[in-house]
Amino acid sequence: MNSPAGQKLPYWWLYCTVFLTGASVMVIELLGTRLIAPFYGASLYVWASLISVTMIALAIGYYAGGHWADHAKRTGLALIIALAGLLTLLIPWMTAPVLLATDSLGLQMGTFTSTLILFTPSLIMLGMVGPFAVKLATDSLSGVGASTGSIYAVSTVGSVVGTLLLGFYLFPRIGSREIFVGVGLGLFVLATLVAFFERKHISLRYSLIPVILLALPGVMLSPGGLSPSNAANLPANAVGHAAQPYQVRFERESLYGWVRVLDNSVANMRLLMADASTIGAASISHGENLMTYQKIVELIPRLAPGIERALLIGQGAGHMATDLLQFGITTDTIEIDPAVAEAAQNYFDFKPTGNHIIGDARYEIRKLQGSYDLIILDVFTGGAEPVHLLTEETLQQIDDLLSKRGILALNFVSFLDTGENIALASVGKTLAQVFMHQLIFISELGVDFNDFIFIASQHPLRIEDEQLSRTQQAWLESRLLTIDNSRGLILTDNFNPLEALQTRKSEHYRQLIVETVGTSQFVR
């Protein structure tokens, strides 16, 4: 990289530029999940859409950047970076209207289309930086290979650093909107510095003036980008409506989702939500649990007398652990999201009765010491599926923690489809690989979309027990279900298509939640 006069040019600034823009690409890509997930859920479709859109945008950027670099006379890197900054600052403003506009497209196309609209423009501009930098760093054909390799290597290192910085430091401390605004403003600062350094190639007035002109609206956009989108100002037919208004009592953005507590004083209902999933519901007046399926689980101590120690995987609002205490049962709880744990204690009066563990269940159960008389696996809500917690291998780990008379209770949300739902059959078939006996209960009678409670153990299970009243026995018997497991698949760590099998469930559940609390509760 020598000048015609044989003197070294200070190209260190060029490497700093591609390093920082490479980091910006990954920050925008990863932050995209936190803007899309509250509306469409944190599913595989969100990640697939973001990765695909990033690749599409970078490919377009590489191509366009190369042509621009070959033909540009009075524009350079500074303008490209400034445009990227402005387009990044527009993302928080555009999120609400774009998500609402794509809502009718369904889960898969809605996720992809909204991601394409929101993130493609800024990522295209950032993709253009690499080819332009190669052009500036190359003085002769003999050095083009080394220049290209160096530029893209430094950009990739920047992407790695940006990913680690966001995941390990920024996101646990700063909200996603604040980070978006910080990246946008940072790109304007970088563009100003680049305009100064590339003055050897482009007159400063041609490079700096466009940056300033773009920075002015960018700075004006910044304060609005720090606040959640006001969906209430959109047309009523665009946001939908809830039967009754909900008030936000608690809101926290965590590493795992957007956690909120919503109150409906008219209906006397308090909801605990993570992104677009309801993971707890109680009456405001008395704190009474309103989840019917949990009432089935709470009858297990009467089905299997002698339970002393339990484990609840997926604490949620903590009602089941609280209700088990009336039987003298100490319950350890595992909850992946510290924001959910905080909301449960402050708004649902949850008080741990055993060990209170914050972490991913698949990792944490490896460290636990059995034996438990009852393990409740309650993580398969209507929203995203943590499929790694429903495999033959996971169930085997759970069985290893159970006592000889231990019982597993697993809640699963799905359609019944007259007993022919493959996802539901797959749960039963996978459980049968580990447990010799199982009972299946349906939560709400006469409803196709439902909570299904699987009770599994290594010993026979009966609901005819003297500790159950006739009313309780009749109530359980009316919900007893038989499913043909032969239609199902055995879910393993190697092969687990559960999320794909549950696509219709996710779309239907999301529509039910929107009808309940209103679309405006899911746009930010």
Q: From first to last of the 524 residues of the chain, give the pLDDT tens digit.
A: 444 333 344 578 889 999 999 999 999 999 888 888 778 876 778 889 999 999 999 999 999 998 888 877 777 899 999 999 999 999 988 988 998 888 888 878 989 999 999 999 999 999 999 988 888 777 545 567 777 888 889 999 999 998 899 888 887 778 788 888 999 999 999 999 998 888 777 777 778 888 899 999 888 887 765 655 444 333 333 344 444 588 899 988 887 888 999 999 988 999 999 887 888 999 999 888 888 787 787 788 877 778 999 999 999 999 999 989 988 999 999 999 999 999 999 999 999 999 999 999 999 998 898 799 999 999 987 667 788 899 999 999 999 999 998 999 999 999 999 888 999 999 999 999 999 999 999 988 889 999 999 999 999 888 776 677 788 888 888 899 999 999 999 999 999 999 889 888 888 888 888 777 776 666 66
**Helix, strand or coil, per DSSP, at residue 270:** strand
CA distance 335 to 294: 17
Q: What is the DSSP track for 126-171?
A: HHHHHHHHHHHH-SSGGGHHHHHHHHHHHHHHHHHHHHHHIIIIIH
Q: Map out the domains of the chain with their CATH numbers.
A: 12-229 (1.20.1250), 291-505 (3.40.50.150)
For residue 479, how far is the Cα from the chain centroid?
33
> Per residue in 349-370, is it b (16+ CB within 10 Å) or e — as a string?
ebebbbebbeeebbebbeebeb
CB atoms within 10 A of CB 310: 27
Cα-based distances in Å from 51 to 184, 419, 441, 482: 21, 36, 39, 41
pTM of the model: 0.80
Cα-Cα-Cα-Cα dihedral sign, residues 115, 117, 122, 127: positive
Of 134, 189, 228, the closest CA to residue 522 belongs to 228
> Per residue in 488-498, is it b (16+ CB within 10 Å) or e — as a string?
bbebeeeebeb
Strand-by-strand arrangement of the 258-264 sheet: 247-253, 258-264, 269-274, 277-282
- Three-class SS of 384-420: CCCHHHCCHHHHHHHHHHEEEEEEEEEEEEEECHHHC
